[in-house]
Amino acid sequence: MTSRPRPIRTRKLPEQRRAEIVETAAHIALEEGLELITLRRVAEEMGVRPGLISHYFPAADNLVSEAFTHATTRERDSLLPPHEQDLPPVERLARFLVGLADGDYLDLSRLWLNARHLSRFKDSLRHAVRTQESETRAALVALVDRGVRAGEFTTDDALRATLHILIAVDGLGAYANDDSPPQDPDLSDVAIETAESRLGLASGTLRARAGTRGTPPPHGSAG
Asked, for residue 173, whether it belongs to a domain, the answer is yes
Taking the model in full, what pTM does it have? 0.82
What's the structural domain count of the chain? 1
Asked, for residue 7, whether it belongs to a domain, the answer is no
Q: Could you report the per-residue pLDDT of 163-214, keeping only the tens digit for each?
A: 999 999 998 888 877 765 455 556 789 999 999 999 999 999 999 999 754 4
Regarding predicted confidence, which is higher, 116 or 220?
Answer: 116
As a whole number, the mean pLDDT across the chain is: 87
Torsion on CA atoms 175, 179, 184, 186, rounded to nearest 10: 80
Give the Cα separation of 219 and 74 in Å (integer): 9
Asked, for residue 95, whether it belongs to a domain, the answer is yes
Q: Does the pLDDT at position 41 exceed 70? A: yes
How crowded is residue 76: how many other Cβ atoms within 10 Å of its Cβ?
Answer: 17
Asked, for residue 215, whether it belongs to a domain, the answer is no
Task: Please list, in sequence order, all residues whose beta carbon lies within 8 angstroms of the beta carbon of residue 70, skipping any fewer than 6 positions away.
Answer: 22, 23, 25, 26, 222
Asked, for residue 5, whether it belongs to a domain, the answer is no
What sign results for the dihedral spanned by CA atoms 203, 100, 140, 86? negative
Burial class of residue 146 (count of CB atoms within 10 Å of its CB; 0-12, 13-18, 19+) = middle
Query: Nearest-CA neighbor of 126 among 221, 62, 58, 39?
Result: 62
Check residue 56 and give its pLDDT.
Answer: 96
CA 208, 212, 217 angle in degrees (round to 5)?
100
Asked, for residue 216, whether it belongs to a domain, the answer is no
Asked, for residue 61, whether it belongs to a domain, the answer is yes
Q: Does the pLDDT at position 220 exceed 70? A: no
Domain harbouring 25, CATH code: 1.10.357.10
Asked, for residue 220, whether it belongs to a domain, the answer is no
SS3 55: helix
**Residue 101: which domain range?**
14-210
Give the Cα separation of 125 and 128 in Å (integer): 5
In what helix (H) or strand (E) does residue 84 lie, and over which residues does it extend?
A: none
